[in-house]
Copies of this chain bind each other. A is one copy, B any other.
Amino acid sequence: MNLILVTFVSDNSLYMVKKPLILVTNDDGITAPGIRMLIKVMNEIGDVVVVAPDSPQSGMGHAITVNATIQCKKELIDNGPQTEYSTSGTPADCVKLARHEILKRKPDLCVSGINHGSNSSINVIYSGTMSAAIEAGIEGIPSIGFSLMDYSWDAHFDMFEDSIKTITTQVLNHELSQSIVLNVNFPKVTTKKQIKGIKICRQAKGNWIEKFDKRHSPAGQEYYWLTGEFVNFDNGTDTDEWALENQYISIVPIQFDLTNHQQIEELNSWSLND
């Protein structure tokens, strides 16, 4: 299914292009530099509708708003052909609202990000950026989450413009039997030349070693800030962590069937029905 349909008329001089409908979202909020860059690139590829949180939603995982209301309003943030909406919901809410309330038809693609901070290894689990991409995947929409291994608000995204175009075009041009959700992470580099290429990877085995910073309020009540350090336990050279450390752009294909199929046989040998 090539969504960029080019119809030539008899003399080959005229053609009509049907552009793909692209939903853009993120978890850092609709005004974050990362999503502004992604909107700019997507405007060159398709018809863009932005539905993104009105405030930062980092660490929201796959949260959805079930016990509260969601506000949604039309926005005009940058000049450009895109249509934009901000919502009070989570990234997953934004995708649901876009699909079932805002958009007239199912989008051809959903892109989420560019996240300020990487979502490699176990971070995919905690990531609002990736939860939006996964939610789109559940809805049967091909989707890509983009993240940059740099938390700073003024990180440089422009050197990844060509790679974003390449990956997006490849997704639009390929029909897969299974749904496609890609977790794309960009390495922290200072020049475009340092990027070694794009590598298809598996999720590295890693973990956060947490530390809680315990403090006291002026009234004497204890409270905590969650801090911690990510540790990569995985020595493989086929992981996203390895790719990023070696200046490659990593792509991990993601699934949302969480069944550990290998363990089913083992569990069937347990005494559960005696």
Residues of chain A at the chain B interface (Cβ within 8 Å) = 56, 58-67, 69-73, 92-93, 96-97, 99-101, 122, 124-126, 131, 134, 138-139, 166-167, 170, 174, 176, 178, 180-183, 197-198, 200-203, 205, 207, 210-212, 214-215, 221-226, 251-264, 266-268, 270-273
Report A66 CB to chain B, min CB distance, Å: 4
Q: Is the CB of A200 within 8 A of B100?
A: no
Report A270 CB to chain B, min CB distance, Å: 5
**Which residue of the partner chain, among B100, B197, B251, B258, contacts A203 with CB atoms under 8 Å?**
B258
Given contacts A178-B263, A259-B253, is CB(A58)–CB(B62) below 8 Å?
no
Alpha-carbon distance between A92 and B263 when the two chains are bound, in angstroms: 24
Alpha-carbon distance between A200 and B271 when the two chains are bound, in angstroms: 12
Q: Is the CB of A67 within 8 A of B59?
A: yes
Residues of B within 8 A of A170 (CB): 270-272
**Which residue of the partner chain, among B58, B258, B262, contacts A254 with CB atoms under 8 Å?**
B258
Given contacts A96-B226, A198-B272, is CB(A61)–CB(B58) below 8 Å?
no
Nearest opposing residue in chain B for A70, CB measure: B224
Given contacts A174-B270, A224-B97, is CB(A202)–CB(B62) below 8 Å?
no
Report A102 CB to chain B, min CB distance, Å: 9
Nearest opposing residue in chain B for A87, CB measure: B224
Given contacts A198-B272, A263-B178, is CB(A257)–CB(B203) below 8 Å?
yes
Report A59 CB to chain B, min CB distance, Å: 4
Q: Is the CB of A256 within 8 A of B258?
A: yes
Nearest opposing residue in chain B for A62, CB measure: B61
Given contacts A166-B272, A170-B270, A272-B170, is CB(A122)–CB(B256) below 8 Å?
yes
Q: Is the CB of A61 within 8 A of B61?
A: yes
